[in-house]
Amino acid sequence: MSPALIKSLIVDDEPIARQVLREELEQIHDVEIVGEAEHGQEALRKIAGLEPDVVFLDLQMPGMGGFDVIRKLEGGKLPIVVIVTAYDQHAIEAFEAGAVDYLLKPVTEARLRKALDRVRQLYGKRLEIAESLAQLAATGSEPQVTARTRKIVGRKGEEYFLLDIEEVLAFQADGELVWIITGQQRFLATQSLRSLEERLKGQPFRRVHRNAIVNINHVRKMSSMSSQRWLLTLSNGQELIVSKRQAHGVRDMLRW
Has residue 32 got a pLDDT over 60? yes
Taking the C-alpha atoms of residue 192 and residue 197, their distance in angstroms, rounded to an integer, is 9
Taking the C-alpha atoms of residue 224 and residue 231, their distance in angstroms, rounded to an integer, is 6
Q: Which of 94, 166, 168 is nearest to 133 (CA)?
A: 94
pLDDT tens for each residue of 118-146: 999 999 999 999 988 888 887 754 444 44
CATH number of the structural domain spanning residue 36: 3.40.50.2300
Same domain, 127 and 167: no
Look at residue 150 and tell me if it is in a domain.
no
Q: What SS3 class is residue 39?
A: coil
Confirm if 1 and 123 have CB atoms less than 8 A apart.
Answer: yes
pLDDT tens for each residue of 143-169: 444 444 478 999 999 999 999 999 999
Look at residue 43 and tell me if it is in a domain.
yes
* Count of the separate structural domains present in the chain: 2
Q: What's the predicted TM-score (pTM) here?
A: 0.82
Taking the C-alpha atoms of residue 109 and residue 241, their distance in angstroms, rounded to an integer, is 58
Q: Residue 12 phi/psi, 5° resolution?
A: -165, 140
Q: How far is CA 127 from CA 56, 122, 155, in A?
A: 20, 10, 8
Q: What is the pLDDT of residue 90?
A: 66
Which residues 6+ apart lie within 8 Å of 43 measured at CB?
9, 11, 37, 55, 57, 69
Q: Which amino acid is at 146?
A: T
- Range(s) of the domain holding residue 242: 163-254
Least confident of 36-50, 75-89, 242-256: 242-256
CATH number of the structural domain spanning residue 246: 2.40.50.1020
Mean pLDDT comparison of 138-147, 178-187, 215-224, 242-251, highest-scoring range: 178-187
Look at residue 145 and tell me if it is in a domain.
no
Same domain, 11 and 129: yes
Same domain, 113 and 174: no
Q: What is the pLDDT of residue 147?
A: 43
Same domain, 126 and 174: no
Look at residue 144 and tell me if it is in a domain.
no
Work out the average pLDDT over 77-98: 77
Same domain, 10 and 121: yes
Has residue 36 got a pLDDT over 90? yes
pLDDT tens for each residue of 51-72: 999 999 998 899 898 889 998 9
Least confident of 4-13, 55-64, 98-107, 125-134: 98-107
Q: What is the pLDDT of residue 137?
A: 82
Same domain, 119 and 179: no
Q: Which of 211, 209, 210 is nearest to 250 (CA)?
A: 209
